[in-house]
Amino acid sequence: MMTKLTLRMDEALVRRAKAEARRRGKSVSRMVGEFVGALGHEGLPAKLPPRTASLVGVLKGARVSESDYRKHLREKYL
């Protein structure tokens, strides 16, 4: 059963949504429905790509700061 839903958004965002829907050949309603349908129980996509799924939780409990990451990038690329 299809039910009507009214959304209130900034006018510029509505224009962007309509332009993207045209580009994809879909309606804004269909895009919103697909987005909500793709969400899992915790707001994450229900099914992640295999590589991404294998990384979920890898850094749980680890203390990695932005400076650690910057240092890693310097060592890797310089």
Could you tell me if residue 2 is inside a domain? no
Note the pTM of the prediction, 2 decimals. 0.51
Q: Are 22 and 14 in contact (CB under 8 A)?
A: no
* Dist CA 31 CA 17 (whole Å): 9
pLDDT computed for residue 46 by the predictor: 65
pLDDT computed for residue 53 by the predictor: 83
Q: Are 43 and 37 in contact (CB under 8 A)?
A: no
**Residue ranges making up the domain that contains 15:** 11-77
Find all residues with CB under 8 Å of 42, minimum gap 6, and list them.
none
What is the domain count for the chain? 1
Can you give the pLDDT of all 78 residues of the chain as single tens digits? 989 999 999 999 999 999 999 999 999 999 999 888 877 666 666 677 889 888 888 888 888 888 998 999 999 998
pLDDT computed for residue 37 by the predictor: 81
Could you tell me if residue 3 is inside a domain? no
Q: Are 17 and 31 in contact (CB under 8 A)?
A: yes
